[in-house]
């Protein structure tokens, strides 16, 4: 009675290929149509992106710079308006008092 | 003797070439006591940048643009106090100290017993006329210091202060 080891040995025994095995394999390889593996198109390889990619950071910086300059300008404008309002009102107050005194002394 | 003469001439020339500068004030003592303070600090570059953003189509803004065109700086500090008497005349005196003759001349000094308000106006004389302006305005609960550097048109500024009704602009309120 064959043991389990014997059955396993029989199943995994080395088998020599037939003499024409190599020829058959080479013939099949030669007959097979040549097929290239599809190339994955990388986003940066697309012409449009290839040109835009290096310029984009510069464009972003320029846009950010313009936005910041506009913000600074608007802030400076608000400060100018406030400054003129405060300085003008104080000066006007002094001027009105001087006019009032002059008017009193004339009458 | 000759060297001393050259030195004095050099100093005079250097003084003439120096740009007009803002009056140096120290606000530390008052800032500690004030409940609120407002600061406007516009040097020449910032002033001209702000002026560029003023509209030429708006009559009032066009006037301001013209007014600030000849200025080299505007510096304003306003302190507000919760109660009257939180600052005294001796606190204001150091602000007057740098405004002495012959460089500076006090042209207006008013005081109202009714509301306790005082306004002093000083101008800085230079070869071309008015080279600067300082306004010290005191009220029981408020102190305002204005320093304008450059050739300022007093009439235009006063006129603007009279009829411009600008919306309150929150610039830099500090506690």
Q: Does B169 touch chain A (CB under 8 A)?
A: yes
Which residue out of B22, B37, B40, B164 would a mutagenesis test of the A interface target, given it has the greatest number of A Cβ atoms within 10 Å?
Answer: B40
Report, as an integer, the average pLDDT of B143-170. 76
For residue A71, the chain B residues in CB contact (below 8 A) are none
**0.90 surpassed by complex ipTM:** no
Does residue A6 carry a pLDDT above 80? Answer: yes
Cβ distance B162 to A88 less than 8 Å, yes or no, reads: yes
Report yes or no: B120 and B136 within 8 Å, Cβ to Cβ: yes
Query: Would you state the pLDDT for residue B50?
Result: 92
pLDDT per residue over A13-64, tens digit each?
Answer: 888 888 888 899 899 988 887 766 666 667 667 777 777 878 888 888 888 8
Alpha-carbon distance of B52 to B124, in angstroms, equals: 27
Q: What is the dihedral of CA B97, B100, B105, B109, to 10 degrees?
A: 30
Contact list in A for residue B49 (CB cut-off 8 A) is: 72-73, 76
Tell me how far apart the alpha carbons of residues A93 and B157 are, in angstroms, rounded to a whole number: 12
Question: What is the β-pairing status of strands B71-80 and B118-126?
Answer: unpaired
Separation of alpha carbons B93 and B109, rounded Å = 14
| Whether A91 and B52 lie within 8 Å, measured CB to CB | no
B112-139 tens-digit pLDDT: 888 888 999 999 988 778 889 999 999 9
Beta strands in chain B (DSSP E): 36-43, 71-80, 104-111, 118-126, 129-139, 142-150, 173-174
Most trustworthy range by pLDDT among A31-40, B5-14, B144-153: B144-153
Measure A60 CA to nearest chain B CA, in Å. 23
Contact call for residues B20 and B132 (beta carbons, < 8 A): yes
């Amino acid at each position: 009675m064959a043991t389990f080891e014997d059955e396993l040995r029989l199943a995994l025994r080395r088998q020599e290929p037939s003499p024409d095995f190599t020829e058959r394999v080479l013939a099949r390889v030669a007959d097979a149509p040549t097929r290239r593996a599809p190339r994955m198109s990388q986003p940066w390889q697309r012409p449009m992106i290839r040109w835009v990619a290096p310029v984009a950071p510069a464009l972003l910086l320029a846009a950010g710079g313009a936005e910041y300059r506009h913000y600074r300008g608007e802030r400076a404008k608000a400060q100018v308006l406030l400054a003129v309002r405060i300085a003008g009102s104080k000066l006007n107050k002094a001027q009105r008092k001087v006019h009032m005194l002059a008017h009193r002394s004339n009458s | 003797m000759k060297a001393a003469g050259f030195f004095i001439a050099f100093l005079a020339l250097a003084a003439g070439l120096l740009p007009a500068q803002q009056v140096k004030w120290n606000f530390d003592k008052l800032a500690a006591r004030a409940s609120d303070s407002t600061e406007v600090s516009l040097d020449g570059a910032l002033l001209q940048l702000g002026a560029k953003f003023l509209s030429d189509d708006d009559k009032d803004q066009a006037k301001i643009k013209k007014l600030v065109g000849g200025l080299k700086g505007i510096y304003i500090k306003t302190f507000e106090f919760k109660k009257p008497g939180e600052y005294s005349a001796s606190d204001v005196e150091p602000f007057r100290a740098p405004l002495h003759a012959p460089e500076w001349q006090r042209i207006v000094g008013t005081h109202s017993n009714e509301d306790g308000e005082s306004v002093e106006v000083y101008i800085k004389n230079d070869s071309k006329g008015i080279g600067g302006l300082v306004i010290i305005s005191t009220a029981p609960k408020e102190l305002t210091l204005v320093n304008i550097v450059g050739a300022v048109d007093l009439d235009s500024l006063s006129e603007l202060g009279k009829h411009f009704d600008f919306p309150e602009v929150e610039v830099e309120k500090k506690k």
